Amino acid sequence: MKVEVLAKKETWVAVQDGNICTPKGFSAGGLHCGIKRKRKDLGWIYSETPATAAAVYTTNLFQAPPLKVSKESINTNGTLQGVIVNSGNANSCTGHEGLKNAYKMREVFAEKACLNKEDVAVISTGVIGEQLPISKIITGVESISALKTSDAALSFEEAILTTDTFTKHVCLQLKSGDKVYTIAGAAKGSGMVHPNMATMLGFVTTDINIDHELLQQALSEVTKETFNMITVDGDTSTNDMVLVLANGMAGNKQWKENDDEYTLFKQGLHTVCKSLSQQIARDGEGATKLIEVHVNRAETVEDAQVIAKTIVGSSLVKTAVFGQDPNWGRIVSAVGYSGITLDTEKIKVMIGPILIVEDGMPVSFCEEEAKSYLENEKIEIMVDLVAGSENATAWGCDLSYDYVRINASYRT
């Protein structure tokens, strides 16, 4: 995993054992406070110094109280120093009582970490419509014995999960002169993933010193090409949020302008967010395969993005991939109902290396070879619109019997 910067020779390199505590000055942890029966359900992130903060949020009109509290914290000074997260209960559609509990959650963690309440973000995920068991969260926060430990990132990754089957993380480092810069991320997400601003929960930490407005600009731009380009089931959660904290402890002079350093940072952030997006898509509830859809030579980027997400979000395409059925008709049908105007007589479609449609018409291909390709864990679909020069990629997963089983009994 490398990212080349044209203006410089530095390269972002993956840190195999890296995590959100690898950037200087960050610590994290997680524990079981009793919201879930056995698994960890309360996690936190702490920065030694106030960190510049940026975030993107769900576009669902039913935004949960924790998002409102977090927005208030970030908007106060543009910085955060602590994050408290619970899983098992979304504290969504909970009215005044839910908002009161979100504020209380922020307050008790701020007291535990010796911070001002505006220095803390609050995030919840889980079942919608049930009041937060705030007494359990208070007891859990008060029981934290090692708030500033840097070796408990895995506990944090586990504490934020709901129906996920594995933890999700990535870490990159770059050496430039006498400095080492680090960007790392953790995320959760498995179902109800079809964002228009963010996706499920994502957390990025970095020790780079960067201006608040520039950090927000970078996250918003990167999100459009990463978190916004995944879909599992077409549902957008009430609690989706991606948060970036940059505490500046790498010691660089604050990056403010759209120069080589900003380009460097943005490319590293893009790689982190892309990796987390792919991990979320692969962990779709009941999923057995990751689907990657490339739409090439569109007239606009927006056209390419819409078509790519339409294909990867199609239940019929998903089930065909699960059943290892090279049903090209479902792919071109999704292109056709995407709402994008195009010349259907020019379209070209490939499943992996196998050409199946050219000039809008099916071509002869080996059915067994196509079925064999669809046995892979990662499936690539390419659609060439022959209409322009813009491209986009979207990620999703197949739709299996287990998806229905998991969601039919989610609350029980």
102 burial (CB, 10 Å; 0-12 / 13-18 / 19+) is: buried
Residue 187's pLDDT is: 94
One domain, residues 16 and 129: yes
One domain, residues 317 and 179: no
> Alpha carbon of 49 to those of 123, 153, 408: distances in Å?
20, 18, 44
Q: What's at 151, amino acid-wise?
A: D
Residue range of the domain that includes 335? 290-408
Distance from first CA to last CA of the chain, Å, rounded?
40
CATH number assigned to the domain comprising residue 314: 3.10.20.340
Q: Is there a catalytic annotation at residue 223? A: no
Q: What are phi and psi of 221, to 5 degrees?
A: -70, -45
CA atoms within 13 A on the CB side of 358: 6
One domain, residues 330 and 357: yes
Residue 162's pLDDT is: 84
One domain, residues 260 and 399: no
Residue 198's pLDDT is: 34
CATH number assigned to the domain comprising residue 246: 3.60.70.12
pLDDT band for 6, please (50, 70, 90 cuts): very low
pLDDT above 70: residue 407: no
Q: Mean of the pLDDT values across residues 49-66?
A: 84
Q: Mean of the pLDDT values across residues 116-145?
A: 94
Question: How high does pLDDT run on average in the chain?
Answer: 89
In tens, the pLDDT along 228-278 reads: 888 754 444 456 789 999 999 999 999 877 778 899 999 999 999 999 988
- Residue 234, phi-psi category: left (phi > 0), alpha (psi -120 to 50), beta (remainder): left
- Distance of alpha carbon 99 from alpha carbon 43, whole angstroms: 20
Residue 127's pLDDT is: 84
Q: What are phi and psi of 32, to 5 degrees?
A: -100, 120
One domain, residues 127 and 258: yes
One domain, residues 278 and 295: no
pLDDT band for 99, please (50, 70, 90 cuts): very high
One domain, residues 260 and 377: no
- Distance of alpha carbon 314 from alpha carbon 339, whole angstroms: 14
- Distance of alpha carbon 340 from alpha carbon 398, whole angstroms: 24
pLDDT above 50: residue 358: yes
pLDDT above 70: residue 377: yes
Residue 4's pLDDT is: 40
- Distance of alpha carbon 157 from alpha carbon 187, whole angstroms: 7
Dihedral angle computed from the Cα positions of residues 194, 200, 203 and 209, in that order, rounded to the nearest 10 degrees: 40
pLDDT above 70: residue 411: no
With DSSP H G I counted as helix, E B as strand and the rest as coil, what are the percentages for the chain, rounded to 5? 35, 30, 40
Domain count, the chain: 2
Angle, vertex CA 381, rays to CA 377 and CA 387, nearest 5: 165
Residue 57's pLDDT is: 85
One domain, residues 80 and 142: yes
One domain, residues 301 and 221: no
The larger pLDDT score, comparing residue 410 to residue 178, is at 178
Given the residues 52, 58, 199, 238, select the one marked as catalytic.
199
One domain, residues 182 and 327: no
One domain, residues 55 and 143: yes
In tens, the pLDDT along 317-329 reads: 999 999 999 999 9
pLDDT above 90: residue 310: yes
Residue 232's pLDDT is: 55
Beta strands in 104-157 (DSSP E): 120-127
